[in-house]
Amino acid sequence: MQQKIVLIGGPGTGKSSVLREFIRRGYECMPEISREVTLKAQEDGVDQLFLEKPLLFSQMLLEGREQQFLHATLSKKEVIFFDRGIPDVHAYMNYLGTEYPDLYIKKSAKYLYDKVFMLAPWKKIYKQDNERYETFEQAIELDKFLRAAYQEIGYKIIDVPFGTIAERCDFILQSL
């Protein structure tokens, strides 16, 4: 039976690095798509789509993550990892205080992951860049909204301890 495993956490917590290690180890992984959406918007002249048009940005993420989930369902792999999941979309909208359609919650409840692993904000590895504009303090606040969004859907969150990328991957694999 296939397991869909989602890695969550605020920006800069090491999710993408852990996913790259899982790819190196031969696992199928669904990458974070917000950078792709952000870069496309910047090419179109919108510096921070998330801030300037949060509902449009979130709609694009919701559609992209839904497509990832459906694509994963067709895979023959036993374990598939996701860099963020569908509930992340409404978690960020809650963080911004932006209203959004009920469809966001409905899709979060429709497309369920088997396990949720949370990587906490970690000052030692946090870096801002052109697509990650949040401060470390904002990352801590976002972490709270992410945890709440997943718990509201009914997920039990497994906290990943700090450590090397290999140690974090090993912890996740041992917890499956």
| Coil/strand/helix, residue 35 | helix
- What distance in Å separates the CA atoms of residue 89 and residue 65, rounded to the nearest whole number? 9
What is the CATH classification number for the domain harbouring 164? 3.40.50.300
Instruction: Please provide the DSSP assignment of 97-125 as one string.
Output: T----THHHHHHHHS--SEEEEEPP-TTT
Q: Which two tokens stand for residue 41?
A: 């918007």
Q: Which domain holds residue 164?
A: 3-174
Tens of pLDDT, residue by residue, the chain (176 residues)? 899 999 999 888 889 899 999 999 999 999 988 877 777 777 887 677 777 777 878 888 899 899 999 999 999 999 999 999 999 999 989 998 988 999 999 999 999 999 999 999 887 876 766 555 677 788 889 999 999 999 999 999 999 999 999 999 999 999 99
Q: What pTM value is reported for the model?
A: 0.90
Report d(CA 67, CA 106) in Å as an integer. 15
Tokens of 98: 């932006």
- What is the signed CA dihedral for 117, 66, 143, 54, rounded to 10 degrees? 170
How many folded domains does the chain comprise? 1
- pLDDT for 129 equals 61
Lookup result for tokens 């895979």: 75
Taking Cα atoms as reference points, which of 92, 84, 93, 41 lies closest to residue 64? 84
β-bridge mates for residue 82, sequence order: 6, 30
